[in-house]
Copies of this chain bind each other. A is one copy, B any other.
Amino acid sequence: MQRYFIHQNADENQRFFIKDENDVHHIKNVMRNSVGNQIIVTFNDEKVYECQITQIEEGLIEVSLTKQLETETELPLDITVCSGLIKADKYEWLVQKATELGANHFIATEMERSVVKLNSNKVTKKLQRWEKIIKEAAEQSYRLTIPTIDYVSNLKQIYDRINEYDYVLIAYEDAAKRGEKSTLKQLIKQFNNYDRVLVIFGPEGGLSEKEINMFTNKAYQVGLGPRILRAETAPLYFLSAVSFEKDLTG
């Protein structure tokens, strides 16, 4: 069942409104709900409730909380996926699938070998488009939070913020070519709950030597297995590996 986000904390004694036009459209017209139907809502405090629809109006759905659902769908750590700008459709796939797979934050930035550029007057519109894709993927995959997305114009701005993170990794294609196959696994096993992890991925042409060297002694260069992965695939490998190690038991 489709889930919807309400950006307030849960309160069983209160009624809430869903006003986002995409959600209202989905509830009313796509799923054809009526008053009395149940929908599932995720609140800002990450509580998830079955809710009953109490009113349907133009542009507005009112709900009351029926039953809390126990659910933990978030990864136990905070992952930021930083990608060099790649072709538009590929990046949209990436943020959609990486949201399904648990990423918490996205940063897009122009890198030396980015074929694609983003004019500053187009950034806002692009971010809005990406936010819409991310929100919808978060709802469909039962996330408890909606990943954030940001754009910075160059990698130096990322470098200036690396102290915000407990770990910084660079997915370096050459590491795969050189047969590097232990760093990623060792690191993922070391990660603790609530760690803030930044992973940097290059654009289609890969990271340049200058970009790699910028992070010498600040970031771990990791191979993502022996096969060369495309720019939009690599983050999905990383997130799946983290989930396999941290979400699954056995």
Q: Interface on A for B, CB 8 Å cutoff?
A: 71-73, 93, 97, 100-102, 140-143, 181-186, 188-189, 225-230, 233, 236-237, 240-241, 243-245, 247-250
Whether A227 and B142, one on each chain, are in contact in the complex, defined by CB atoms closer than 8 angstroms, is yes
**Given contacts A241-B241, A248-B184, A250-B185, are A230 and B72 in contact (CB under 8 A)?**
no
Minimum distance in angstroms from A242 CB to a CB of chain B = 9
Whether A228 and B182, one on each chain, are in contact in the complex, defined by CB atoms closer than 8 angstroms, is no
Chain B residues, Cβ within 8 Å of A188: 244
Whether A227 and B143, one on each chain, are in contact in the complex, defined by CB atoms closer than 8 angstroms, is yes
Closest residue of B by beta carbon distance from A177: B142
Closest residue of B by beta carbon distance from A70: B179
Q: How far is the CA of A188 from the CA of B240 in the complex (A)?
A: 14
Chain B residues, Cβ within 8 Å of A226: 71-73, 142, 247
Chain B residues, Cβ within 8 Å of A143: 227
Minimum distance in angstroms from A200 CB to a CB of chain B = 18
Whether B185 and A248, one on each chain, are in contact in the complex, defined by CB atoms closer than 8 angstroms, is yes
Q: Would you give 13 A-B contacts (Cβ < 8 Å), ordered by A?
A: A100-B229, A141-B230, A143-B227, A182-B249, A185-B244, A188-B244, A225-B243, A225-B247, A233-B236, A236-B236, A236-B237, A237-B240, A240-B240
Not counting A93-B93, A181-B249, A225-B240, a sample of 11 additional A-B residue pairs whose C-beta atoms are within 8 angstroms of each other reads A97-B236, A101-B225, A140-B228, A140-B230, A141-B229, A142-B226, A142-B227, A184-B248, A237-B243, A241-B243, A241-B244
Q: How far is the CA of A162 from the CA of B236 in the complex (A)?
A: 29
Closest residue of B by beta carbon distance from A248: B185
Chain B residues, Cβ within 8 Å of A97: 230, 233, 236
